Structure 1
Amino acid sequence: MGIEQKLGNLGIVTTNLEQVVNWARTNAMWPMLFGLACCAIEMMAAQASHYDMSRFGMELMRASPRQSDLMIVAGRVSRKMAPVLRQLYDQMPNPKWVIAMGDCASCGGVFNNYAILQGVDEIVPVDVYVAGCPPRPEGLIHGIMTLHEKVKQEKFTKWG
């Protein structure tokens, strides 16, 4: 007994354009790798076969900002690296999202000094924070799922 027998011969699917576009955005995010410290190893582990971020449509990490719509900042950001990070963020096409991975990217971590940014949100807007030092790959995947839920709720007026 299949779904065709339960529903009859309807053959009609109704939705709105925002839901279709947001579904496509969540299932085809292309992350840009920006691994700066030990969190980058955990980001690579999340991409590897054991955790397999490919099941979320993230087949590979992009090295070009013009082909990415998600920036994962993994690790501590020095004041010297901040302008480079901002320039890469500005080169990404809209809509774009940022995940701050790890305590160093979120709030400076144990590096409370003048050379390290006390959170990457000083230079780019952050959508999701992933806690941990270093965060486990499961934490990054949870952050991506949280971002997917956020993207599914977006309206076209935000980008218009």
Structure 2
Amino acid sequence: MTLSSSFKRSLFVFHFNAGSCNGCDIEIVAAITPRYDPERFGVRLVGSPKHADVLLVTGPVTGKMAPRLRRVYDQMADPKVVMCIGTCGQSGGVFYDSYNLEGPIDQIIPVDVYVPGCAPRPEAIIHGVVTAITKLERLEGGEV
């Protein structure tokens, strides 16, 4: 079995809250319930970034979270995909121009998939994960 075929069967996701209001986190929890059943795509949450293929990041990056986010990103094995969930992670959202923000997520680590919304619906999050699956398959195949 090649790695690209394994991504079709199982995708391990690690969730990192960089300082959000927990609205996106609640939607992520809703997305992993049996109602939406992301396990049909082989998606599972894991407790360690060392086992993850996808990093889900919510919230704007605060000053204290920036080095921790970088450390979590560096712990992940290649190939990896970073998903930015919610408006706060993309632009700061309601926390825009706050004194304690380091900036949006893409100023700290590279982001591959954006899921906009405040807070995005579970369907949008699942669509983003499916997009991440196709991105991982292309990375494995040598494309960029």
> Shorter chain as normaliser: what TM range?
0.7 to 0.9
Q: CA deviation at 1:102?
A: 0.1
Q: Provide the alpha-carbon RMSD of the alignment.
A: 2.0
1-structure distance, mates of 2:3, 2:126: 22
Any gaps of 5 or more consecutive residues in structure 2?
Answer: none
Q: TM-score, normalised by structure 1?
A: 0.78
Q: State the one-letter code of the partner of 1:64.
A: S
2-structure distance, mates of 1:142, 1:156: 21
Aligned residues: 140
Residues 54 and 132 in structure 2, CA contact (< 8 A), matched pair in contact too = no
Q: Deviations over 1:10-40 (max 9, x none)?
A: xxxxxxx8xx532322431100021343211
- Which structure carries more relative contact order (alpha carbon 8 Å, separation 6+)? 2
The answer to whether 1:87 aligns with 2:36 is: no
Sequence identity of aligned pairs in percent? 40
Larger Rg: 1
Task: Give the SS at the match of 2:130.
Answer: helix
- Provide runs of 4+ in structure 1 moved above 3 Å: 155-159
Rate the CA distance shift 1:41–1:107 in 2: closer, same or farther, 3 A: same
Kindly report which structure 2 residues correspond to 1:17-96, keeping only aligned pairs within 5 A, or say none. 20-35=2-17, 36=20, 37-59=22-44, 61-96=45-80
Alignment match of 2:136 (pick from 133, 145, 151) = 151
Q: TM-score, normalised by structure 2?
A: 0.86
Q: CA deviation at 1:157?
A: 4.4
Residues 108 and 117 in structure 1, CA contact (< 8 A), matched pair in contact too = no
2-structure distance, mates of 1:100, 1:26: 21
Residues 104 and 118 in structure 1, CA contact (< 8 A), matched pair in contact too = no
Q: CA deviation at 1:55?
A: 1.0
